[in-house]
């Protein structure tokens, strides 16, 4: 299950042009894989959501390797997905301090099983951010995306409300699991952009979902 924009190595989340190979090599050399894992920004009953670490590259590569992970992602999410892709994506996030995070289980904190993050808006949309996520195949159908999405949405609207007051996601047609997760977490389907995406010759609609902070507050009050 996945949605843009968290798409290693250039995603959930910030689309950019890869750096020159010499620059990428220099960035990777400055990251120390022996440093302790960063503490999580939040936890859920089953998950830790934390910043990336250089040692995450092998497990991230393994999780992203199946073609099913990239099926509903943009072409920025590479396939085949190599260890170099993972290392560069981690380096990009750590050197640019991007708001993208990995998901791990409590009992396996060193193994990446997914990711979630934001692509901030700009100009008149600077109060918004696109939210994206993915989880490895072996964890599908167990509610992990809904658990992470609900907690991360709460985190953004509680801790980052001065920056972001609206979150949104674009989901390829056919990705029903991702749409269900968004709806469970209070995101409303706001419209469908017909024939908006084309990947490998296949044209799909793009379903737009959104949640404002005020609607999130109303939803939380109704749950009390």
The mean predicted confidence, pLDDT, of the chain is: 89
pTM summary value: 0.87
Question: pLDDT tens-digit profile of 111-160?
Answer: 999 999 999 999 999 999 999 999 999 999 999 999 999 999 999 999 99
pLDDT single digits (tens) 20-57: 444 444 444 556 777 899 999 999 999 999 999 999 99
Distances from the Cα of 90 to the Cα of 6, 20, 179, 219, angstroms: 12, 16, 27, 35
Domain spanning 2-222: CATH 3.40.630.30:
yes
The rounded radius of gyration (Å) of the Cα atoms in the chain is 17
Residue 95: name the closest of 14, 36, 12 by CA.
14
The CA distances from residue 49 to 27, 63, 79, 198, 199, in Å, are 24, 16, 25, 32, 30
Domain edges within the chain:
2-222
Q: What share of the chain is helix, strand, coil (3-state, %, to 5)?
A: 35, 25, 40
Note whether 200 and 224 are within 8 A (CB).
Answer: no
Q: Tell me which residue of 80, 140, 150, 75 sits closest to 114, measured CA to CA.
A: 140
Two tokens at 147? Answer: 């658990």
């Amino acid at each position: 299950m996945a949605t843009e924009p968290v798409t290693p190595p250039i995603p959930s989340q910030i689309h950019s042009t890869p750096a020159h190979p010499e620059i990428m090599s220099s960035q990777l050399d400055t990251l120390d894989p022996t440093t302790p894992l960063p503490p999580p920004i939040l936890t859920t009953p089953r998950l830790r959501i934390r910043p990336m670490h250089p040692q995450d590259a092998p497990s991230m590569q393994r999780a992203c390797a199946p073609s099913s992970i990239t099926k509903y992602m943009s072409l920025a999410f590479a396939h085949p997905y190599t260890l170099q892709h993972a290392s560069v994506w981690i380096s990009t996030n750590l050197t640019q301090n991007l708001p993208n995070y990995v998901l791990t289980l409590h009992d396996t904190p060193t193994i990446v099983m997914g990711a979630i993050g934001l692509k901030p808006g700009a100009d008149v949309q600077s109060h918004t951010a696109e939210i994206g996520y993915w989880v490895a195949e072996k964890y599908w159908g167990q509610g992990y995306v809904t658990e992470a999405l609900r907690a991360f949405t709460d985190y953004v609207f509680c801790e980052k409300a001065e920056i972001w007051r609206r979150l949104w996601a674009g989901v390829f047609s056919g990705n029903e699991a991702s749409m269900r997760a968004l709806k469970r977490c209070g995101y409303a389907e706001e419209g469908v952009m017909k024939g908006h995406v084309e990947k490998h010759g296949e044209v799909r609609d793009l379903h737009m979902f959104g949640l404002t902070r005020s609607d999130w507050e109303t939803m939380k009050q109704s749950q009390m």
